[in-house]
Chain A
Amino acid sequence: MTGDMMGEASTSIISVLLLSILFVMGVAIAHLRNLFAIVMLSGIYSLVCAAWYILVDAVDVGFTEAAVGAGMSTAVLLGAILLTSRNAEPERRFARLGPLAVCIAAGAMLIYATSDLPAAGDPASPANTGVGLTYLQINWADTGVPNVVTSVLASYRGFDTLGETLVVFIAGLAVVLLLGFGERSLAETLRKLKKEDKVP
């Protein structure tokens, strides 16, 4: 029992530590003007987020955050930085008071709403009693897949996942249609550089 208590106490200490790192990083990102530093910090922000998700046993969510938030979006934003300037324009002194008020109001509402949330891992919470419990009970006999996340994602909710895949495909299609196929503009730039004898 004491071991459980110790484990729980250390979990909450690490949780508070990670969340305060996130807070400090958020403030730093809001203050920075160098876009490269901001992109790097937001990548680290996602990584710390992922660590925190793992801490609260949301392994799949943590993994996705690490892959998409820390890996993919950082890489895409680095590519996007090349198209724009390296530094954001300096902000006017009181221009951010309005957004700050909105943030504080939204944050206060969210904190007020957390009083209605069930405790983490509460067996009586809606997520653990309704359809989630049913999936856990029937999954093995139905599909024989050990990971319930996979069987829900690909089998029970296969239609939803088809929609998600289509969304990803359409997102790629839309970016390509808006920005043009990468290779054509690359070839054009290379030709221009060749004309100026910058590239052999």
Chain B
Amino acid sequence: MKSDHHLILRVIAKTLLPLITIYAFYVQFHGEVSAGGAFQAGVVLAVAVILYALIFGLAEAMRAVPPWFARGLAAAGVLIYGGVGVWAMVQGGRYLEYQALFNEPPGGHNGQHTGIILVEIGVLFAVAGAMVSIFYALAGRVAEIRDEDW
């Protein structure tokens, strides 16, 4: 792309980026049994995109994750979260009452698990989308990070 002396940085980043992304999903779906959860996973996922933007340039990152997608992701996350609440209401429960999702008696955990997983997916989308949007808004004002800037 530009000068060659970023080669090591780019190669290492290329190997790290998939690991960071997979780690974000691990944190997301392992949040029920260990530390972490959707907020952290969303931030880690956003950081993967931001790292890509810092190293390969903002235009490349915007081609990979378009800004409209990031904005839509944030909105979709909030909608998913709110939608679970509405689903519980449609089933005759109160807003966000996971027990009512499948009309289970107390002690049945399917509704709780489904509700928590859906809600956490909503949080993941909202956090990742909002963070990437914030970064795009901040970094989009300069075309490229020139070497002499550092």
Q: Please give the residue numbers on chain A whose beta carbons come within 8 Å of chain B beta carbons, in ascending order.
A: 36, 59-60, 62-64, 67-68, 71-72, 75-76, 78-80, 82-83, 86, 141-147, 149-151, 153-155, 158-159, 161-162, 164-166, 168-169, 171-173, 175-176, 178-186, 189-190, 193, 199
Taking CB atoms, residues of chain B closer than 8 Å to A169 are 74-75, 77-78, 126, 130
Chain B nearest Cβ from A185, distance in angstroms = 5
The majority secondary structure among interface residues of chain B is helix
Q: Which residue of B lies closest to A162 (CB)?
A: B81
**Are A83 and B130 within 8 A (Cβ)?**
no
Chain A nearest Cβ from B102, distance in angstroms = 14
Taking CB atoms, residues of chain B closer than 8 Å to A71 are 43-44, 47
Per-residue 0/1 for B48-76: is the Cβ within 8 Å of any A Cβ (1 yes, 0 no)? Answer: 00110010001100100011100100110
User: Which one of A145, A147, A178, A186 contacts B113 once the chains associate, using CB atoms below 8 Å?
Assistant: A145
CA distance A190 to B59 in the complex (A): 9
Taking CB atoms, residues of chain A closer than 8 Å to B68 are 183
Chain A nearest Cβ from B35, distance in angstroms = 4
12 pairs from A and B in contact (CB 8 Å cutoff): A60-B35, A64-B40, A67-B40, A72-B46, A72-B131, A144-B112, A158-B98, A158-B119, A182-B139, A183-B62, A185-B141, A189-B142
**Are A172 and B98 within 8 A (Cβ)?**
no
- Which residues of B, 92-150, contact A by the 8 Å Cβ criterion? 95-96, 98, 106-107, 109, 112-113, 115-116, 119-120, 122-123, 126-127, 129-131, 133-143, 145, 149-150
Chain B nearest Cβ from A196, distance in angstroms = 11
Taking CB atoms, residues of chain A closer than 8 Å to B59 are 186, 190
**Are A147 and B131 within 8 A (Cβ)?**
no
On whether A79 and B107 interact (CB within 8 A), knowing A150-B31, A171-B130, the answer reads no
Chain A nearest Cβ from B96, distance in angstroms = 4
CA distance A98 to B72 in the complex (A): 46
Q: Which residue of A lies closest to B66 (CB)?
A: A183
On whether A147 and B40 interact (CB within 8 A), knowing A161-B119, A162-B82, A175-B134, the answer reads no
